[in-house]
Chains A and B, each alone.
Chain A
């Protein structure tokens, strides 16, 4: 058919066989496909298929080279649920570390997305208007039949945790069930050798400790403000806790006169709507003394960060500490397992119970402990896609979500994963090394001002991190940084107000 003379027989056969096998298989692959295509899936007469992109909780088999068991609890959940509900078929999609944005955009545009997708608080403001996700308010107000005595599903969660799934229109589009705890991991052996006997509790003590380490030739604390992953993490963590302390005395002003308690209930914090108004009215500005003081503190702290921290790859944060070059490293709770299971860490280590407090000694606005150094939403952040409505699987999907968010199940899943703390009120059975973060949330409270990640638009937060990086790198001065950020902030706030007239 294709080539004749001029090609040796061997090559002809090679080509012909590849082609024919290929064509045969390609043709065969087509009919078997629809099972997974998502369109044909959905409500058939017999079974409803509920597909879930569980991200970090996606079960997988243990590899020979794994040093601890990978998450598998979802399989138990699946089994238990399918036994109780034979008409539902649960499927898990493989985890995608790269290309998630592209994947989500294409699947949602094409109507082939799974019923449940992992999502992030920072994206809600961008995407809720596209009609991609289901408004969960009505379901959250109904009881969760899998929790004894539960009247409203949402009550099973800590207030700030479930509230983080609120979009600018006031509705909740995401079920958030966990917290990212963070902690300062420190090298006990190095501390002892340098003569540091106690873990610092105030910022002043913290600075002393860092100075001692630096004089001994070490990097005091390992942090990255790199634009490719560092500042998005550390910039976010640091600004949200420092800002809460700086603005503590002014919180009521930002909240139309009503005081804001650290341990707020949903609606009692400062979400985007309130922040946008505060910016418009000039009550919250990047040129506030408090805001600039936040920058000051960061700048002062950055002396103790690694050289060139604004271009340090985020991977290096752990490397520097694990190699004994840095005395401390600010890491997330998901590092607990890897660090415990790293056979090449050759020193004794511990974690600070709290980030050292900024007292009045260090700053005119100091005095209050930091809020819980936790980010709400780790692996357990899921949105229900409108596909489920289209396919008639919504009820089954909601029911499944209720099942896995029942505290005993949720905690089983999180213990199994080992990286994030439960965000439920009832934490019985939680791994103590994780529950400690939930306790902190309960005792110290959560940050009250909406983090920059989700306060305004995503473009704004990109420029915010840009400006922060340049400022910390010494490329622009503090006043210039504040000024340009304020201009961006104001513009973003005005843009949002014009898009949401009901916020005024």
Chain B
């Protein structure tokens, strides 16, 4: 994995390893294997077993209880013909693209702003302010947004009426064209949380000399940002993007509460569809197949993300 520090030496792992056989190398590192054993034991038991069980059941017609018939690829074939599922993937694509775009702008911008504050007391103050809201349960946040969007009593429509834009009022979550965008807008201004802090960490890891030398070369703030600061937080960006993608692909809780996939099926997402099939329709096998596909998609996206951003910026190390 790429390391993005400027001066760093590769850890010296003694003798070159290529000349030794696989078995000999394994023996050499037996201490390593021993030390990571607890990790793997826990993961195998509590994560791999359930995950493999889920993947395994993709090939079955399983109702969660007494029906468990092997059906090979039937579930996957059914998926290709399921119009609602296709629509849900389309929605997911839009949601994920926007989520990634958001994760690259608002938290990054907020972190940059904090980074540029000269008064360190305030910098500290804002950091705290952006972290505390994480403790608010999602139930509360969703309640707030539901009420903002409510057609008759909601804040958004009330504000529009108050500024004489009554023709713009509409049932936001019920608008067949806008509902998905209304969902995307939830969470504004998207600054609370780990993303901002991760970016901030990245900015503060930039060696001061680079910033200074850029200033000496006559670059103004904006140029410095684009040519020095931004490239050097690329690994943070990569991390946040990966996490955003993973979260976006699996999520369905927000949509479940806000629109339940509606109006019609215009905000359906695979995660919600999966949930329904598993918990409400007795089609656990089918749900597992959907989950397998989601897993594969996430895997591919993550891999691409790692490779692409890796090759574009490298100073040293491999």
Q: Would A130 and B263 count as touching, CB distance under 8 A?
A: no
- For residue A310, CB closer than 8 A to chain B, the reply is yes
**B contact residues around A226 at 8 Å (CB):** 174, 260, 262
A-B contact count (CB 8 A): 103
Count of interface residues, chain B, beta-carbon cutoff 8 Å:
35
Q: Would B151 and A311 count as touching, CB distance under 8 A?
A: yes
Q: Would B259 and A227 count as touching, CB distance under 8 A?
A: yes
Return the contact of B174 from the options A131, A462, A473 (Cβ within 8 A).
A473
Dominant SS among interface residues on chain B:
loop
- For residue A470, CB closer than 8 A to chain B, the reply is yes
- Contacts known (A102-B279, A228-B256); A308 close to B174, Cβ less than 8 A: yes
Q: Select the residue from B170, B175, B264 with max chain A CB neighbours within 10 A.
A: B264
- For residue A438, CB closer than 8 A to chain B, the reply is no
Report how far A45 CA is from B150 CA in the complex, Å: 58
Q: Would A228 and B152 count as touching, CB distance under 8 A?
A: no
**A contact residues around B67 at 8 Å (CB):** 129-130
Q: Would B263 and A308 count as touching, CB distance under 8 A?
A: no
Q: Would A307 and B65 count as touching, CB distance under 8 A?
A: no
- For residue A126, CB closer than 8 A to chain B, the reply is yes
Q: Would B64 and A109 count as touching, CB distance under 8 A?
A: yes
Q: Would A130 and B262 count as touching, CB distance under 8 A?
A: no
- Quote the shortest CB–CB distance from B251 to chain A (angstroms): 16
Q: Would A316 and B150 count as touching, CB distance under 8 A?
A: yes
Q: Would A130 and B65 count as touching, CB distance under 8 A?
A: yes
Return the contact of B279 from the options A101, A219, A308 (Cβ within 8 A).
A101
Report how far A325 CA is from B152 CA in the complex, Å: 10
- For residue B289, CB closer than 8 A to chain A, the reply is no
Report how far A130 CA is from B258 CA in the complex, Å: 32
Q: Would A127 and B282 count as touching, CB distance under 8 A?
A: yes
- Contacts known (A105-B279, A470-B263); A219 close to B152, Cβ less than 8 A: yes
- For residue A319, CB closer than 8 A to chain B, the reply is yes
- For residue A313, CB closer than 8 A to chain B, the reply is yes
- For residue B261, CB closer than 8 A to chain A, the reply is yes
| Residue interface bits A318-333, CB-to-B below 8 A is 1, else 0 | 0110010100000000
**A contact residues around B64 at 8 Å (CB):** 105, 109, 130
Q: Would B174 and A228 count as touching, CB distance under 8 A?
A: no
- Quote the shortest CB–CB distance from A132 to chain B (angstroms): 7
Q: Give chain A's interface residue range (CB within 8 Å of chain B).
A: 35 or more
- For residue B305, CB closer than 8 A to chain A, the reply is no
Chain A residues 67-112 with CB under 8 Å of chain B are: 101-102, 105, 108-109
Q: Would B276 and A462 count as touching, CB distance under 8 A?
A: yes
Report how far A309 CA is from B172 CA in the complex, Å: 11
Q: Select the residue from B147, B150, B279, B280 with max chain A CB neighbours within 10 A.
A: B150
| Residue interface bits B162-186, CB-to-A below 8 A is 1, else 0 | 0000000011111110010000000
Return the contact of A466 from the options B146, B150, B262 (Cβ within 8 A).
B262
Q: Would B171 and A307 count as touching, CB distance under 8 A?
A: yes
Q: Would B152 and A320 count as touching, CB distance under 8 A?
A: yes
Report how far A475 CA is from B63 CA in the complex, Å: 35
- Quote the shortest CB–CB distance from B308 to chain A (angstroms): 38
**B contact residues around A130 at 8 Å (CB):** 63-67, 282
**B contact residues around A308 at 8 Å (CB):** 151-152, 170-171, 174
- For residue A485, CB closer than 8 A to chain B, the reply is no
| Residue interface bits B26-69, CB-to-A below 8 A is 1, else 0 | 00000000000000000000000000000000000001111100
Closest to A102 in B: B279
Q: Would A306 and B282 count as touching, CB distance under 8 A?
A: no
Closest to A457 in B: B281
**B contact residues around A219 at 8 Å (CB):** 152
- For residue A459, CB closer than 8 A to chain B, the reply is yes
| Residue interface bits B249-275, CB-to-A below 8 A is 1, else 0 | 000000011111111110000000000
Can you list 14 pairs linking A and B with CB atoms under 8 Å apart? A109-B65, A126-B281, A126-B282, A129-B63, A130-B65, A130-B66, A227-B261, A229-B260, A310-B171, A311-B262, A313-B147, A316-B152, A466-B262, A466-B264
A: which residues have CB within 8 A of B?
A: 101-102, 105, 108-109, 126-127, 129-132, 219, 226-229, 306-313, 316, 319-320, 323, 325, 457-459, 462, 466, 469-470, 473, 475
A sample of 12 more A-B contacts (CB under 8 A), given A109-B64, A130-B63, A313-B146, is: A108-B65, A126-B282, A129-B63, A132-B65, A219-B152, A227-B260, A229-B260, A307-B151, A313-B150, A462-B276, A470-B263, A473-B263
Closest 9 CB pairs of A and B: A311-B174, A308-B171, A308-B151, A227-B262, A130-B65, A311-B171, A228-B260, A227-B260, A101-B279
